[in-house]
């Protein structure tokens, strides 16, 4: 139900995109017309940009608050997991990770409670993507050197979850993975 409405939304956006580009393409050929009223290209451009910004403004104000960064923003996480990424491994720990003395531990998380991952990288950009047992992408964030990205999630299904790097980061990118258990 939700997926089909998202599909419809994107189809509608595609149609709007085609209409806009068709309009721009057709109107860009009429250069020798009268410069009065709406035929004036500057006036046309003004109205085109105004309508475009109004549509974009409405779209952004409706969709941005629904982005995952605001999920569970007002709740306190039951558990915090620190994640250090580097070529080509993830180190997960319940305690802050010392880059000089890297070590990870096996992680067990509670189901139906809020968990926060604090994700960073010690070298290049990596992806931190969590997949469920049927290999469905659940949630993800970037692992960036110099930044700590907070990823909050509530796991509803117990099981083993896999972590894959989602950003090509070097020769052995494909072996960069980890996992944790939700009970
Ligand atoms: Cu990577």
Task: Provide the residue ranges of all domains of the chain, joining segments of one domain with +.
Answer: 2-69, 75-182
Q: What pLDDT is stored for residue 138 in this prediction?
A: 92
Q: What pLDDT is stored for residue 33 in this prediction?
A: 56
Q: What pLDDT is stored for residue 18 in this prediction?
A: 96
- Identify residues whose C-beta is under 5 A from ligand 1, the ion: 126, 165, 169, 176
CA distance 97 to 142: 18
Give exposure, 47-84, as e/b (b: 16+ Cβ within 10 Å).
Answer: eeeeeeeeeeeeeeeeeeeeeeeeeeeeeebeebbbbb
In this predicted model, what pLDDT tens digit does every residue of 63-83 receive, in sequence order? 888 777 777 888 899 999 999
User: How many angstroms separate the alpha carbon of residue 115 from the centre of ligand 1?
Assistant: 22
Q: What pLDDT is stored for residue 141 in this prediction?
A: 93
pLDDT at residue 50 greater than cutoff 90: yes
CA distance 136 to 164: 12
User: How many angstroms separate the alpha carbon of residue 173 from the centre of ligand 1?
Assistant: 5
User: How many angstroms separate the alpha carbon of residue 71 from the centre of ligand 1?
Assistant: 25
User: How many angstroms separate the alpha carbon of residue 61 from the centre of ligand 1?
Assistant: 33
Q: Which CATH architecture has domain 75-182?
A: Sandwich (2.60)
pLDDT band, very low/low/confident/very high, at 95 (cuts 50, 70, 90): confident
Q: What pLDDT is stored for residue 35 in this prediction?
A: 54
- Of the candidates 48, 118, 49, 126, the one whose C-alpha atom is nearest the C-alpha of residue 85 is 126
- Of the candidates 97, 113, 116, 115, the one whose C-alpha atom is nearest the C-alpha of residue 105 is 97
Pairing of strands 89-93, 108-109: unpaired
In this predicted model, what pLDDT tens digit does every residue of 6-48 receive, in sequence order? 889 999 999 999 999 999 988 886 666 555 556 677 888 899 9
Share of the chain above pLDDT 70, in %: 92
Q: What pLDDT is stored for residue 100 in this prediction?
A: 84
How many other CB atoms are found less than 10 A from the CB of residue 88?
Answer: 17
Q: Rounded mean pLDDT of the chain?
A: 89
The predicted model scores a pTM of 0.66
User: How many angstroms separate the alpha carbon of residue 88 from the centre of ligand 1?
Assistant: 6
């Amino acid at each position: 139900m939700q997926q089909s409405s998202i599909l419809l939304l994107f189809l509608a956006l595609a149609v709007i995109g085609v209409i806009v580009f068709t309009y721009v393409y057709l109107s860009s050929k009429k250069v020798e017309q009268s410069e009065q009223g709406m035929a004036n290209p500057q006036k046309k451009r003004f109205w085109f940009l105004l309508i475009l910004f109004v549509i974009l403004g409405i779209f952004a104000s409706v969709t941005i608050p629904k982005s995952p960064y605001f999920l569970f923003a007002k709740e306190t996480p039951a558990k915090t997991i620190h994640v250090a990424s580097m070529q080509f491994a993830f180190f997960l720990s319940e305690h802050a990770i010392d880059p000089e003395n890297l070590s990870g531990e096996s992680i067990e998380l509670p189901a139906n409670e809020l968990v926060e991952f604090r994700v960073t990288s010690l070298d290049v950009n990596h992806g931190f993507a969590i997949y469920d047992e049927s290999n469905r992408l659940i949630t993800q964030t970037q692992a960036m050197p110099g930044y700590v990205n907070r990823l909050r999630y509530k796991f509803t299904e117990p099981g083993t979850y896999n972590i894959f790097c989602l950003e090509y980061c070097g020769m052995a990118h494909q072996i960069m993975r980890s996992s944790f258990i939700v009970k």
